[in-house]
C-alpha cells in the first residue's frame, strides 16, 4: 500500500507518539477534511452523471478519453472512507457503542432511509404513469409484491445508497473489534481482505459487483482511524514528501489504473472500473496524500461542505435518475449515437444540474426544521 512506508518506516516514531496519544485525545479540527470531502463529493456526482457506456467505443482516442473521464475521480470512495475514519476516531473514544449508534441513527440512518424510500416511491409512480398510458410494466401490474421486493433489492444493493449501508457496516465491525483498533496486525488482516476483492476481479472466485465487497472497505476506514491516532507523525511524514514524487506517483498509478481497466474489459468484466482494483487502490491513496499535503482551500468553504456533503450524496441520485430521466425521456436520446466528446459534454451538463440542484436543496433544508433530512 502507498501509505505502508509511513506505517513501517516510522515505527519508532509511532511508538513514541502512542505514549502521548491519550494526552492529546481532545477533538481536533481537521481543516483539510472539508477540502477532501468537497472534492470527493464532486467526483462522486461526476461518476454517477456519466453518459458513457464502457463498451460503446472501440477507437483509441475515444477509449482514452472515456477511460480518463471514468478513472480520474475513482479515488473518491476510498478517500471518503479515509476521512470517515479520521472523523470517527475520537467519537469512538468519547461515546459508548450504544451512544454512538444512537447518534448515527439520527444523523445518518434516518435521512438515508427517507431519501432511499423517496427514490423507490418516485420510481413506482413513474411506472404507474407508464402503465396508465398503456405501457407494459411487467411485474408491477402482475405481481406488485415481487416487483416492490426487486426494486428495494436493486435500490439497496446496486445503487449509490448501498455505500451508506456499507459504511455503517464497516463502522459496526470496527466497534466490535474496538480493543484492537490501533493494532497494526489488525489493519494487515483488513488490508488482506480488501486485496482479496482486488484479486477476485481477475480470478472471479465469487461475485465481483461492489455490493459483494461487504468487507472490502473496512481497511480504509481503519486506516483513517489509525492515521488520526498518529496524526502529527503522519503530517510530518507527508511534509517530507516532494511534490515531484507525488505527481509522478499520481500519473503512473492513473495510467496503470486505466491499463488494468482495459485489460478487465477485454476479459469480459462488466465492472471494469471497480474501486477495489489494486491499481486504483494505489491511485486513491496517492491522491489522498496529495490532497492532504495541499491542505484546506479557502474557496471551498463557501460551499459549506460540512453541512451539505451528505445531503448532496442523498439527493443527487434522485435528480439524475428520476428528475432528469422524466425531463429528457420524451426526447428519446440515444447516447450510443453520439461521439465521445458529445457524451462527455452531456456528462458535464448532467453533473452541473445534479450537483447544483442537490447543493441548493440541501442548503435550503438546512435552514428549516426539515434539516434532519440531510443529516451529517
Give pLDDT tens digits for 295-339.
998 889 889 998 999 999 999 999 999 999 888 777 777 777 889
Q: Distance (Å, rounded) from C-alpha 194 to C-alpha 188?
A: 10
Does the model's pTM come out above 0.75? yes
Are 240 and 192 in contact by the 8 Å Cβ rule? The answer is no
User: Is the pLDDT confidence value at 254 over 60?
Assistant: yes
Confidence of residue 24 (pLDDT cuts 50, 70, 90): very low
Rg (CA), the chain: 21
pLDDT-above-90 percentage for the chain: 66
User: Is the pLDDT confidence value at 163 over 60?
Assistant: yes
DSSP state of 321: I
Q: Is 204 left (phi over 0), alpha (psi -120 to 50) or beta?
A: left
- The phi and psi torsions of 269 (rounded to 5 degrees) equal -75, 125
Q: Write out pLDDT tens, residues 43-99.
A: 999 999 998 777 778 888 999 999 999 999 999 999 999 999 998 887 777 777 677
User: Pick from 305, 304, 317, 326: which is nearest to 357 by CA?
Assistant: 317
Residue 323: per-residue pLDDT: 93
The three state secondary structure string of 36-64 is: HHHHHHHHHHHHHCCCCCCCCCCCHHHHH
Residue 117: per-residue pLDDT: 97
The three state secondary structure string of 68-109 is: HHHHCCCCHHHHHHHHHHHHHHHHHHHCCHHHHHHHHHHHHH
Confidence of residue 25 (pLDDT cuts 50, 70, 90): very low
Handedness of CA 180, 184, 190, 196 (dihedral sign): negative
Confidence of residue 23 (pLDDT cuts 50, 70, 90): very low
Question: Would you state the cell numbers that stand for residue 218, as one nine-digit string?
Answer: 473496512
Distance of CA 176 to the CA centre of its chain: 23
Q: Distance (Å, rounded) from C-alpha 312 to C-alpha 317?
A: 9
Residue 135: per-residue pLDDT: 86
pLDDT-above-70 percentage for the chain: 91
Residue 141: per-residue pLDDT: 86
Q: Write out pLDDT tens, residues 185-222.
A: 999 999 999 999 999 999 999 888 877 788 899 999 99
Residue 209: per-residue pLDDT: 80
Are 347 and 50 in contact by the 8 Å Cβ rule? The answer is yes
Amino acid at each position: 500500500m502507498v501509505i505502508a512506508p509511513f506505517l513501517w518506516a516510522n515505527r519508532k516514531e509511532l511508538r513514541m507518539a502512542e505514549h502521548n496519544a491519550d494526552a492529546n485525545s481532545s477533538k481536533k479540527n481537521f481543516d483539510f477534511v472539508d477540502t477532501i470531502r468537497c472534492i470527493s463529493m464532486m467526483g462522486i456526482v461526476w461518476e454517477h452523471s456519466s453518459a458513457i457506456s464502457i463498451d460503446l467505443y472501440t477507437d483509441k482516442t475515444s477509449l482514452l478519453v472515456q477511460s480518463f473521464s471514468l478513472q480520474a475521480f475513482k479515488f473518491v470512495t476510498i478517500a471518503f472512507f479515509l476521512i470517515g475514519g479520521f472523523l470517527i476516531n475520537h467519537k469512538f473514544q468519547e461515546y459508548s457503542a450504544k451512544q454512538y449508534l444512537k447518534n448515527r441513527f439520527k444523523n445518518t440512518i434516518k435521512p438515508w432511509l427517507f431519501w432511499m424510500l423517496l427514490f423507490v416511491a418516485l420510481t413506482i409512480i413513474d411506472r404507474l404513469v407508464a402503465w396508465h398510458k398503456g405501457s407494459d410494466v411487467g411485474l408491477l401490474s402482475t405481481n406488485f409484491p415481487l416487483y416492490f421486493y426487486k426494486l428495494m433489492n436493486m435500490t439497496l444493493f446496486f445503487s449509490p445508497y448501498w455505500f451508506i449501508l456499507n459504511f455503517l457496516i464497516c463502522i459496526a465491525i470496527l466497534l466490535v473489534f474496538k480493543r484492537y483498533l490501533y493494532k497494526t496486525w489488525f489493519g494487515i488482516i483488513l488490508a488482506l481482505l480488501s486485496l482479496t476483492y482486488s484479486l477476485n476481479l481477475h480470478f472471479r472466485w465469487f461475485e465481483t459487483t461492489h455490493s459483494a465487497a461487504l468487507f472490502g472497505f473496512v481497511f480504509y476506514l481503519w486506516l483513517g482511524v489509525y492515521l488520526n491516532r498518529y496524526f502529527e507523525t503522519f503530517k510530518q511524514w507527508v511534509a517530507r514528501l516532494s511534490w515531484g514524487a507525488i505527481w509522478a506517483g499520481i500519473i503512473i498509478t492513473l495510467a496503470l489504473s486505466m491499463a488494468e481497466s482495459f485489460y478487465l474489459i477485454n476479459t469480459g468484466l462488466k465492472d471494469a472500473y471497480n474501486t477495489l482494483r489494486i491499481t486504483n487502490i494505489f491511485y486513491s491513496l496517492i491522491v489522498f496524500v496529495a490532497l492532504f499535503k495541499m491542505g484546506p482551500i479557502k474557496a471551498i468553504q463557501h460551499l459549506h461542505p460540512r453541512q451539505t456533503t451528505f445531503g448532496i450524496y442523498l439527493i443527487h441520485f434522485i435528480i439524475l435518475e428520476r428528475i432528469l430521466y422524466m425531463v429528457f425521456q420524451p426526447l428519446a436520446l440515444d447516447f450510443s449515437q453520439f461521439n465521445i466528446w458529445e457524451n462527455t459534454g452531456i456528462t458535464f451538463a448532467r453533473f452541473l444540474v445534479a450537483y447544483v440542484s442537490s447543493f441548493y436543496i440541501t442548503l435550503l433544508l438546512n435552514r428549516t426544521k426539515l434539516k434532519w433530512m440531510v443529516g451529517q
